[in-house]
Every structure is written in C-alpha cells, then in structure tokens.
Amino acid sequence: MSKEKVAFIGIGVMGKSMAGHLLEAGYPVSVYNRTKSKADDLVARGATWADSPAAASADADIVITIVGFPADVEETYFGSEGIFQTMQPGGLVIDMTTSSPILAKRIASVASEKGIGALDAPVSGGDLGAKEARLSIMVGGDEASFERANPLFEIMGKNIQLQGTAGAGQYTKMCNQIAIAAGMVAIAESLAYAKAAGLDPKKVLASIETGAAGSWSLSNLAPRALDGNYDPGFFVKHFIKDMGIAIESATEMGLTLPGLNLAKALYDRVAADGGADDGTHALFRFYFEGKQVAG
C-alpha cells in the first residue's frame, strides 16, 4: 500500500528535522517555507518544493504545519494562499505549532465543514528532540484522525498522547510551557547563586542534576548556558508568545499564575536586551550579568 502524500509547511529549527524523518521513512513530501533556502537541503534529499501553503496542500493527503505565531497559523490556514483554499475533502490537517487553543478549535470547525480531519499536535523536546525523533507530541482531535496520523507521529516522536478533543493538545502544551517557565527561573537562580558563592557552577550542576532537582532543562540547557552557547533550540521570542497564550487562557478560566507572570516579565527583559532570537536558556546569562534586578 502506497504511503499518503504529506505536505510539510514550516522548515525551521524543528520542522526541518521532522520533515526529514518523514522523507527517510519513504513518505512523498512537499515542502513550503517563507524563506525558501531553508528548504534547500530537504529538496536535495527528494522533497518537492511548493510556492505556497495552498500549492503544497492541493494534492496532499495530510498537511503538517509548524510555524511561528498564532497569526502565522491563521494566515497559513485561512489566507488567500492558505491551506483551506485547496485542501480536498478526505484530507487531514495537523498543526504542530504551539498556538492558541481557541484557534485550534476554529481550524477544526472549518475543517469539519469542508470534510477534512484536523488535529492540534504541539510538540516538546526542542531541536535535539526533533533531530533524534524523540519529541513528546500532545494531540487534540478525534480518535479516527489520531489513528490516521499516528504512524507519522511515531516517526517524529516517542511520547504520543491523545489528550482530548480539538484544542486539548494546545492546552496540554500550555501546561508544559508553564512548568518549563517556572523551572527555568529556578535553574537560573540556582546557578547564579552557585557562582555568587564562589562555586564552580559546572561542578554544582554535576551534583544536582541527578537528584531531586533534576529536569530536562537542567541537564540539556544549563550546560549550554555555562559554556556560553545561547544558540536557539527554541527561541526566546517564541517562548514569550507561548507564555502570553497561557496567561490569556488562564485568565479566561479565572486562574491566576503568579510564577508564570514573573517568568514572562523576566523573559520580556531578555528580549528587550536583544535576546529575542537566542535560546530560552539566555535567561541564565541575564542572571549571570545581574540584569534581572534592574529597573
């Protein structure tokens, strides 16, 4: 049985690896990205270039999107050159962007009207998780669409969970981002404290990362920060976007999250200081330089 044709829209830090895994697994893949050169490697490996989301979706069975911001998601699906202009009934759309749960529900509603399946399936694991095909994938949508998409998910990730109906994947990803946000502040403060106490932060890290304080961020991002490497596995500007979505949806639910509000305020300062395009562990540099106490 021939594999379904996949259109992959968004060839960024994570999308390039994710689309590459599908190519390696033998899926026919068409690709679109606003900056065409970012897709050159995939095209050289056998992907087909499309000039727009609409062109990519015209003859695709499954369309996967992982773009930057909710506004980008909206344009990708609903714009004049968007997916819903050409996607045929019987197709399936999967938005893997971390985006708004409300927008995910809207996409699912319009897709249903057009006879198209829809899933919101944001991911966690960063650039390394994408490269090593061990992403955590949090899915919202109906069971039939999930079962159809699961063979693709298993190529890109390891921990794959259907969380509920449309929007549930995005709500789950917000839970993930809330936990990370508070954790990053705690890790930065821990290592800044170690430095202020005259300790070697790398030796301190070796002691604490395997104990009760252990976390993915502590083991994977703290070493990068201590080496002065702030290259993005996930951009500060995108993390700020995620925290904003989480705060907005929490407010709608009547929930106050003071830890998340503090983390976002600190990351806003990182971005204002020129760190918007750094990795999220740039918060550590902000602490090491003492800027968190300014203003």
Catalytic machinery residues = 173
Q: Which residues have CB under 8 Å from 198's CB, separation 6+?
A: none
CB 14 within 8 A of CB 131: no
CA dihedral 235, 240, 245, 246 (to 10 degrees): 100
What count of other Cβ atoms lies within 10 Å of the Cβ of residue 251? 11
